[in-house]
Amino acid sequence: MKSIEDLRVGIDKIDDEIIRLIDLRMDYVKKIGELKQTTGSAVYRPERERAIISRLDGVKLKNLNKEAIEAIFFEIFSVSRNLEKPQVVAFLGPFGTYTHQAAKARFGAISTYESLSNIEAVFKSLITKEAKYGVVPIENNTEGAVGVTLDCLRKYQEVKIVAEIYMDIHHSLVTNCTQTAEITQIFSHPQAYNQCLKFLDDHGLSGVKFTATKSTAKAAQATLETPNSAAICSKIAAELYGVPVMYEKIEDNANNRTRFFVLSDFKNQRSDRNKTSILAKTDDKPGGLVELLQMFRNEGINLTKLESRPIKSHDFKSVFYIDFEGHIDDEGVIRVLENATRHAHEITWLGSYLNGDE
């Protein structure tokens, strides 16, 4: 039987080969980057990354599942993109939030991250070219749509949706206290707090003073500085501020998920399993929305989201945010949008991107 040292020697040899092959891969990446510069193609290609992951998932392996493959290759993709062009990613901060976690999951450890205090600031950072990509939340399956993101998509139409990220959201109760009876104050973002009401009630914490913070990361920082307090936040925030976790996964909905948008300034190429987002201001007549929806039905296009949002500059007028399956360049989609325009419906294309919920 081989000793631990013998096995480590074997690992070292494999590591040497792995790093050599990754370096060889980067030679190909650099050549592709040079070709992209001559054609003006986008550096970030979500559909190409998905195709690579899907292909590798089909390889017979003993120890690596799809999640492990994704974790490894998203970091490789990140290094590759930064080799082509340094990546600056703006996100709704501060560091340690779920949005930060989603951004890092997609753009890796090597990218430069710009933490901003509000969603509109992320859009402005893209407009001014301070960042190439932005990551913002769009909806949670417990709390619903993020209205500010919808408003900014309408206001800053130069910014396009280029990808979506679905992430399971798990809240933790973190504290320096040794038992719940010592806790006299709880910090959290109101949305996170409201997603844990049953846990709080079950553990006798529903009557404890609640102090709202701008983010769950700020909550972790606040409890670090406040005796006899706790925070409801992510594990990444607890680790960032060094606060012990008392309870993990305390959310009432075990299937709690948040959807994030990746934003940039380019148009994705068509691929399989696309989604498209638009804003629609229907003609001001009885049955205007029904007429528009019927156009999609006639082409067999499936709508996956319909959300109304008030137009704040007009009294009691609304614009409709719509997600549907397909790409803006699909023939059926083109026919729908041309037909909608002929019938005086105002359509704004927000982006076509790979379906991330697969």
State the catalytic residues.
258, 260
The DSSP output letter for 101 is H
CA-CA distance, 43 to 33, in Å (whole number)? 7
Q: Name the residue among 254, 253, 236 with its Cα closest to residue 245.
A: 236
The 3-state secondary structure of 26-80 reads: HHHHHHHHHHHHHHCCCCCCHHHHHHHHHHHHCCCCCCCCHHHHHHHHHHHHHHH
List, in order, residues 6 or more apart from 46 with CB less than 8 Å away.
162, 163, 262, 268, 353, 354
**Residue 356 in contact with residue 325, Cβ under 8 Å?**
no
**Virtual torsion, Cα 125, 126, 128, 129, nearest 10 deg:** 110
Question: What six digits make up the tokens of 184?
Answer: 């006299």
What is the Cα–Cα distance from 97 to 101, expressed in whole angstroms?
A: 6
The answer to whether the beta carbons of residues 217 and 237 sit under 8 Å apart is yes
Radius of gyration of the chain (CA): 23
Residue 243 DSSP symbol = P
* Residue 340, helix vs strand vs coil: helix
Q: What is the residue whose two structure tokens read 């993990």?
A: 248
207 to 158, 180, 191, 212: CA distances (angstroms): 47, 12, 17, 15
Query: Three-class SS of residue 310?
Result: strand
Q: How far is residue 53 CA from its own chain's centroid?
A: 18
In three state form, how does the secondary structure of 311-336 look? CCCCCCCEEEEEEEECCCCCHHHHHH
